[in-house]
Structure 1
Amino acid sequence: MNIKGSIALVTGASSGIGEATAHRLAMAGYKVYGTSRRGAQAGQRPFQMLALDVTSDESVDAVVRELMRLEGRIDLLVNNAGFGVAPAGAEESSIEQAKAIFETNFFGLVRMTRAVLPHMRRQGSGRIINIGSVLGFLPMPYGALYAATKHAVEGYSESLDHELRTRGIRVSVIEPAYTKTQFDANFLPPDAMLDEYREVRALLDDVLKDVMASADEPTVVADAVLQAAIAVRPKLRYTAGSLANRLRLLRRFAPAGVLDAGIRKDLRLDIPTVSPPLVHSGKQS
């Protein structure tokens, strides 16, 4: 893509991956508009912030209309807005909470895509880059809902890319692993907690703290976004960071049993967290 004069829109750009991505694109020469629920905030940024709620059709339409009024085109959409639920059993989230995470992480992305596509089609060009995760191709025990949203992003993105490439529009997914952001600090607690999962929740909180100590910086993801944005022949998937790349290779080439055992070992899932039941001899008193 020709960067000079190109207009980029990055959702969830107030912090973390979104902020790093918007900054990286601006430094590369894009004119960048970032979004967050609160819009402009204090601080020096090389990009303008707009208020956006990706769960609202009206908010999404208003932001895209405003961007078209200001610039008359949109060349790059980076769908980054999202949230997670703290480690918990899948049954510890109500149906309402399950709907809420899909409303932001998946349907928010769909809303944004639908809003910008008519303009990209008229231009005959555009890039849509969706921030996915290695959890789009791997399971996440005790993070099933978040993993489900990222699996949905993978399927939607690959299908959409087939639909749009003959119109000059390409779609890519960025797949980071653990990344040092405030994402985990903003986890929603499960809203239907069960005592049966109390000990494993505490265990996984400790595991998460350990792995985040060596996690990638958000700039690693931002660099992958820029690579996808400017590639002459963009790939569908870009892993971000060495761990993400290793996991992609393991998913592709390792036997299923080896991968399964590795996931359980890394998450310490086979460490007993409760006392084993008493074993009865079968004798009756």
Structure 2
Amino acid sequence: MDLTSRTALIVGGTSGIGLGLARRLAAAGSTVVIGGRDTDRPGLDTFPTVTVDVTDPASVARARDEVLAQHAELDLVVTMSGVMMMEDLRDPAHFAQTEAAIAVNLLGTIRVIDAFTPHLVARGSGDIVTVSSGIGFLPFPPMPGYGASKAGVHAYTEALRAQLDGTGVHVTELIPPAVATAGQEKVNPAALPLDGFLDEVMGLLGETPTPAEIVVAAARRLRWAERDGSYAELLAQRSRALTLLPGRAS
């Protein structure tokens, strides 16, 4: 994938991995528009921004119209919006958190894709990058809604790629491991430093042809656990983190 002269929209790019990727793409020579609910955050002043709530269809439609009116050459859409919450499945009140994870991570991804696919198909070229997670392939039991939503993003991405085959629009799935942003380093001391993660991601995205899946080295054991026969052992290890839930400490 050419990363030097793109016009990109990163929805969910106001912080963390999304903002890091925006900075890398801009440094490579691309024009990057950042979309999110809070576009007044520090560090965004060098980017054009658009306010968008991916849980609101009208907000997504307004954002699409605004972006395309100002950047008709848009040729790269990255769906980065996501929320990650712990849930205790013994408590029925967890459903609100599950619902939020599905609404943002899965339905929000689909809304953004649906909004911009006609534009990209009409161009006859372009790229869509979805963001799932290693947790979508090997669950982290304290975060069941997050894992389910990201598994859904993976399945949807596979279908999207098949349906857009031949249109000139390419679909790539980014599968991060735990990355040291938004407090992840507190939950998981082994979380990958953001700069190291982005170094690998940019290298893989820049390959020709672009891989269908961007899997950095630290994410491979999660992505391929079932194939490699390590799934049950790793899941048992990750289940120990259930002690992080209130009242569940051993």
TM > 0.5 fold call: yes
C-alpha distance in structure 2 between counterparts of 1:217 and 1:57, whole Å: 34
C-alpha distance in structure 2 between counterparts of 1:119 and 1:58, whole Å: 18
Match of 1:264 among 233, 236, 244: 236
Alpha carbons of structure 1 residues 2 and 262: separation in structure 2 relative to 1, 3 Å: closer
1:143 aligned residue: 143
Alpha carbons of structure 1 residues 181 and 3: separation in structure 2 relative to 1, 3 Å: closer
Alignment of 1:94-173 (within 5 A): 94-173=94-173
Per the TM alignment, residue 153 of structure 1 is displaced from its structure 2 partner at its CA by: 0.4
Alignment of 1:196-275 (within 5 A): 209=186, 211=188, 213-227=189-203, 229-240=205-216, 242-254=217-229, 258-268=230-240
2:86 aligned residue: 86
Normalising by structure 1, what TM-score? 0.77
Alpha carbons of structure 1 residues 153 and 221: separation in structure 2 relative to 1, 3 Å: farther
C-alpha distance in structure 2 between counterparts of 1:3 and 1:179, whole Å: 22
Per the TM alignment, residue 144 of structure 1 is displaced from its structure 2 partner at its CA by: 1.1
Contact 1:23 1:47 in 2 (8 A): no
The secondary structure found in structure 2 opposite 1:170 is: strand
C-alpha distance in structure 1 between counterparts of 2:219 and 2:50, whole Å: 31
Contact 1:23 1:46 in 2 (8 A): no
Alpha carbons of structure 1 residues 225 and 54: separation in structure 2 relative to 1, 3 Å: farther
Alpha carbons of structure 1 residues 267 and 109: separation in structure 2 relative to 1, 3 Å: same
Per the TM alignment, residue 170 of structure 1 is displaced from its structure 2 partner at its CA by: 1.2
C-alpha distance in structure 2 between counterparts of 1:246 and 1:98, whole Å: 26
C-alpha distance in structure 2 between counterparts of 1:270 and 1:118, whole Å: 43
The secondary structure found in structure 2 opposite 1:173 is: strand
C-alpha distance in structure 2 between counterparts of 1:270 and 1:79, whole Å: 29
Can you list the C-alpha shifts for 1:173-217, whole angstroms capped at 9, x where unaligned?
A: 111111111165xxxxxxxxxxxxxxxxxxxxxxx8362x23112
* Segment drifting more, 27-36 vs 214-223: 214-223
C-alpha distance in structure 2 between counterparts of 1:174 and 1:161, whole Å: 13
C-alpha distance in structure 2 between counterparts of 1:143 and 1:14, whole Å: 23
Can you list the C-alpha shifts for 1:226-253, whole angstroms capped at 9, x where unaligned?
A: 345444322221213x321233343322
Q: CA RMSD in A?
A: 2.6
Identity of aligned residues (%): 28
The secondary structure found in structure 2 opposite 1:166 is: coil
Contact 2:138 2:225 in 1 (8 A): no
Per the TM alignment, residue 90 of structure 1 is displaced from its structure 2 partner at its CA by: 6.4
C-alpha distance in structure 1 between counterparts of 2:19 and 2:90, whole Å: 30
Q: Which runs of 5+ in 1 are unaligned?
A: 185-207, 276-285
Contact 2:55 2:107 in 1 (8 A): yes
Normalising by structure 2, what TM-score? 0.87
C-alpha distance in structure 2 between counterparts of 1:247 and 1:120, whole Å: 32
Contact 2:52 2:63 in 1 (8 A): yes
Can you list the C-alpha shifts for 1:107-131, whole angstroms capped at 9, x where unaligned?
A: 1110100111111011101111111
* Segment drifting more, 44-53 vs 105-114: 44-53
The secondary structure found in structure 2 opposite 1:34 is: strand
Per the TM alignment, residue 27 of structure 1 is displaced from its structure 2 partner at its CA by: 0.8
Contact 1:161 1:170 in 2 (8 A): yes
Contact 1:90 1:143 in 2 (8 A): no
**Which structure: larger Rg?**
1
Contact 1:21 1:221 in 2 (8 A): no
